[in-house]
A and B are shown apart, each in its own frame.
Chain A
Amino acid sequence: MVKNILIVEDEVKLRLELKTFLNNNGYNVSIIDNFDNTVRDILNSNADLVLLDINLPNLNGEYILKEIRKVSNINIIIITSRNTEIDELLSINYGADDFITKPFNKEILLARINRLLNKKMENNIIKYKNIKLDISKSIIVKDNTIIDLTKNELKIFHYLIKNIGKIISRDELMNYLWDNYEFVDDNTLTVNINRLRSKLNSIGLNDTIITKRGQGYIILGDEVET
């Protein structure tokens, strides 16, 4: 089901770009462009999540937050350009679920939104061919065989399988690992891929990860079951 996000931001251009960006990432987005009745508009919006600029013209974002919290526990992420520990504490005290500072880092923005919206939706088991990848346990299960994966191997396999049918460059893979706090270098990545391959070979999944010369890696197939 597509989730609805409401943007409450007075900068016209910023909110339009934000809308496009979130649309492109698979969300339904609505906007408030009149701030006469912001609290009422937010409450009537049926949104799953609100992005609320804390510095609205003639309006106190903290006041809006407090008013909403009196009657609703809708997900609210505060947008602000102030980045001190104090501002962060204040917003959370007033009842915001999260906090993001301008300028946005797109990964952080999406991660925070996803964290609030998909809390319970993330599935931990992915089925591919005749195996199951259990992400929370970091194992591959085939019939009665269980293979342990290291953190890096798990992340690499998970990312490739999530993007099944797409070529993933080494660069992209590296970026993904770094985003997940695995600061691997070029050699380590090669070593990890080789180890992952031999583990897959040991359960008969030869040639699962295919090297596309000069482009990257790919796992062939259609969408996987989760």
Chain B
Amino acid sequence: MKLRLSDYVKDKYKEIILSLISTLTIVLILIIFKINSVLIIFITTILIINFLTIFLYNYIKRKIFYNNFKNTLDRLDQKYLITEMFQNTNFLEGNLLLEYLYEIDKSMNEYLNKYKNISKEFIEYIELWCHEIKTPLATLGLIVENNKSELSNSIKEELEKLDSLIEQVLYFSRSDSVEKDYIIKRIDLKDIVLSVVKRNKKDLINKKIKINIEDLGIVNTDSKWIEFIVNQILTNSIKYSKEKGAVITIYSKEFKNSVVLYIKDNGIGIPESEIERVFDKSFTGSNGRKKYKSTGMGLYLSKKLCEKLGHSIKIESKLDKYTLVSITFPKSSMIDEIIKN
């Protein structure tokens, strides 16, 4: 809302009435003392002009200040930085307002910092925990390997699930951290895709899913992060594959300003009504709820990590026909230049 004259007048109606009363009183006194009527009109006019001038002056001063304040506020992404934009307003109310705002900001910042610290400590602890738990997991894996029984494969499968769930937690905590814990390098998508397919060989072989890997390009990304993302997408394609004749095709295309990686399956697809929400946190959809235990975190995390890396991720699907996920890696001569050096 901006300062408008009508509102200002409404707000100041008491002052206006008081001024009118005092003007009338003066006029009345002048009449009682039988002053020349021309002089009375003259004095009254001066009084009114005087009042209007002061009134308008006050209005314009405020109007300029508040308009300026509001415009600056609108331009700011972080509104609380407004106190940094004004040092001195050249009028008392403005200065008082700034002083109070500064105090409010300060108290809010203290509050915010408290929570930032709590959240940072929590993230650090989660990261540590994820690393710590890998030692017992590694030990368990070796115990199973060293003592083969008919249960070994089943236990191994569960251990792998545990590992991938822990991996999700780890990347979730990374997706929000301000620290940059990735390295962008020239990466051959083929290495990433081969490694992810190999990681999922057990499910792919068991479900008799045919894998087609076509030409794959070279992109700028972090190999570990992109491997995690591609793995999330591939495991979805496996999870939601049809029982017969399942095919997953992975290919990439080069465009003028980008390289795009496509992962296409001929699985059960996603209903049109749900496709908009698949990247939402904890969204499981009818597929996720129907048959499979879905956390609703895979695609959400993939998108978040993609954004942090400067990639974009899209999904299109036709129910009962296919799902196509595409990841766009922008080409950047600047990044290429940095990597070369």
Contact = CB atoms under 8 A, between A and B. Distances in A.
B263 to A, nearest CB: 14
Interface stretch (A17-25, A60-68, A149-157, A218-226): A17-25
Interface stretch (A26-34, A112-120, A170-178): A170-178
Band of interface residues on A: 20 to 34
A11 interface: yes
A181 B205 contact: no
Given A81-B131, A185-B210, A24 B142 contact: no
A181 B198 contact: yes
A103 B201 CA distance: 18
A89 B139 contact: no
A129 interface: no
B204 interface: yes
B146 A21 contact: yes
Contacts of B163: 103
Interface in B116-132: 130-132
A183 interface: yes
A175 B205 contact: yes
Given A14-B142, A17-B143, A174-B205, A102 B137 contact: yes
Contact of A85 (B132, B141, B223): B223
Contacts of B254: none
B138 A85 contact: no
Interface string A64-84: 000000000000000001111
B201 A14 contact: no
B134 A81 contact: yes
A18 B143 CA distance: 9
A179 B183 contact: no
A213 interface: no
B47 interface: no
> Which of A20, A175, A181 has the most C-beta atoms of chain B within 10 angstroms of its own C-beta?
A181
Interface in A83-118: 83-86, 89, 101-104, 106
Query: A interface, by DSSP: helix, strand, loop or mixed?
Result: helix
A36 interface: no
Contacts of B143: 17
B139 to A, nearest CB: 4
A21 B145 contact: yes
Nearest to A89: B183
Interface string A189-205: 00000000000000000
Nearest to A53: B135
B218 interface: no
Contact of A86 (B141, B181, B198, B201): B181
Nearest to A79: B138
A178 B132 CA distance: 31
Given A14-B139, A18-B142, A104-B141, A179 B224 contact: no
A20 B144 CA distance: 11
Given A17-B143, A183-B197, A185-B210, A103 B159 contact: yes
Contacts of B159: 103
Given A11-B135, A103-B137, A179 B222 contact: no
Contact of A175 (B145, B197, B201): B201
B224 A84 contact: yes
B106 interface: no
Contacts of B130: 81
A81 B135 contact: yes
B197 A186 contact: no
A87 to B, nearest CB: 9
Chain A CB within 10 Å, residue with most, of B137, B140, B141, B204 = B141
A213 to B, nearest CB: 21
Contact of B135 (A20, A102, A106, A179): A102
B211 interface: yes
Highest count of chain A CB atoms <10 Å: which of B135, B194, B210, B211: B135
A7 B182 CA distance: 30
B320 to A, nearest CB: 22
Contacts of B194: 181
B185 interface: yes
Contacts of A89: 183
A174 B209 CA distance: 13
Contact of B142 (A104, A179, A181, A185): A104
B211 A183 contact: yes
B297 interface: no
Contacts of B253: none
A186 B105 CA distance: 67
Interface string B80-106: 000000000000000000000000000
8 contacts: A17-B142, A21-B145, A81-B131, A81-B138, A86-B181, A103-B138, A104-B142, A175-B201
Given A17-B139, A20-B142, A179-B198, 17 more contacts: A14-B135, A21-B145, A81-B131, A82-B131, A85-B183, A85-B224, A86-B182, A89-B183, A102-B134, A102-B138, A103-B163, A104-B142, A106-B145, A174-B205, A178-B198, A185-B210, A186-B208
Interface of A: 11, 13-14, 17-18, 20-21, 24, 81-86, 89, 101-104, 106, 171, 174-175, 178-179, 181, 183, 185-186
Across the A-B interface, the 5 shortest Cβ-Cβ residue pairs = A17-B142, A81-B134, A102-B138, A103-B138, A102-B134
